[in-house]
Structure formats: structure tokens, C-alpha cells
């Protein structure tokens, strides 16, 4: 699997990719929780650092707000995380993962490892999380 479509902000002036974390398109559903509301959505892609979801029709919010995301993948795998809204696109919302429990992180790490197929790249991404 690839990393998803590149956008202008993902490429520097020389055309080199700036992403430090590989993104993977994966089928799944998402429940998005704010302190006062809940929305259901569809997962577009994910990485060790965050997720991109389809923008719910009745959604409103601003970058920087905190949310809880429960991502359910095929086969019933659940990954829960505390996140911050990083960007709003016309049809999508991008979230940075801020907090994740150990079990969810282990599931996410294994999923990324399977998609990368390369433990060296996985170790670089894990190292970049602490940078």
C-alpha cells in the first residue's frame, strides 16, 4: 500500500516529500467525540502520528480542539486515542494523535509494521515519535 495522495504541504520546494510517517489507506469506521457531541465517520488513512477521516456532514470545529477518536478496523480491531484537530479539508478532517493507551498503540504499531513490510523503516518512525 502507498502513503496516500501527496498534497502541496507534503512536498518541499525541491519536490522532496516531507512526511516523516507513512500513511496507509485502511477501511474502518470512526467515532469522534467532543465534550458535547459525537459523530460517526469513515477512516481514510492512518499513521503512527494520526488519522485522516471523512468530514461528517453535521460537523463543526476548529483546528487545535481536542477530541477522542475510536477507530474500528475490519475484523473488530479497536484503536482509541486522544487527538487534536490538525487540519480541515472540504471533505476530510486530519487529527494528530496526542494520547494513546498501550494496547491501542501495540495494535497501531503492528498494523503499520505489516503495511511497511520493513522493520528498519518502522524503527525510524518509532524514533521520530520521540523527536
> Tens digits of per-residue pLDDT, 83-99?
999 999 999 999 999 99
Residue by residue, DSSP assigns 58-79 as T----TT-EEEEEEEEGGG-EE
> Is residue 123 one of the residues assigned to a domain?
yes
> Is pLDDT of 109 > 60?
yes
> Is residue 111 one of the residues assigned to a domain?
yes
SS3 112: helix
In the chain, what are the helix, strand and coil shares in percent, each to the nearest 5? 25, 40, 35
> Is residue 95 one of the residues assigned to a domain?
yes
Query: What are the CA-CA distances from residue 87 to residues 39, 90, 120, 122 (Å)?
Result: 17, 10, 29, 25
Confidence of residue 123 (pLDDT cuts 50, 70, 90): low
The burial of 7, by beta-carbon neighbours within 10 Å (0-12 exposed, 13-18 middle, 19 or more buried), is given as exposed
Count up the domains in the chain and report the number: 1
> Is residue 2 one of the residues assigned to a domain?
no
- The domain in which residue 27 lies consists of 8-129
> What angle do the packed helices 119-129 and 102-116 form, to 10 degrees?
140
Q: Name the residue with higher pLDDT: 115 or 31.
A: 31
Q: What's 98's domain CATH number?
A: 2.40.10.220
pLDDT for the residue numbered 64: 95
> Is residue 35 one of the residues assigned to a domain?
yes
> Is residue 90 one of the residues assigned to a domain?
yes
Average pLDDT of 105-130? 71
| pLDDT tens figures, 48-87 | 888 999 999 888 888 999 999 999 988 888 999 999 999 9
Residues across the chain: 131
Distance CA 25, CA 129 (A): 20
pLDDT for the residue numbered 61: 87
What's the pTM?
Answer: 0.75
Amino acid at each position: 500500500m502507498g502513503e496516500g495522495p501527496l498534497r502541496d504541504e507534503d512536498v518541499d520546494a525541491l519536490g522532496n516529500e516531507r512526511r516523516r510517517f507513512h500513511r496507509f489507506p485502511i477501511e474502518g469506521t470512526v467515532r469522534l467525540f467532543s465534550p458535547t457531541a459525537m459523530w460517526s465517520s469513515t477512516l481514510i488513512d492512518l499513521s503512527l502520528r494520526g488519522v485522516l477521516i471523512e468530514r461528517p456532514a453535521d460537523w463543526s470545529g476548529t483546528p487545535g480542539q481536542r477530541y477522542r477518536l475510536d477507530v474500528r478496523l475490519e475484523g473488530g480491531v479497536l484503536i482509541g486515542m486522544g487527538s487534536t484537530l490538525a487540519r480541515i479539508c472540504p471533505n476530510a478532517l486530519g487529527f494528530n494523535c496526542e494520547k494513546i493507551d498501550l494496547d491501542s498503540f501495540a495494535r497501531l504499531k503492528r498494523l503499520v509494521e505489516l503495511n511497511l513490510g520493513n522493520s528498519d523503516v518502522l524503527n525510524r518512525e518509532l524514533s521520530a515519535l520521540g523527536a
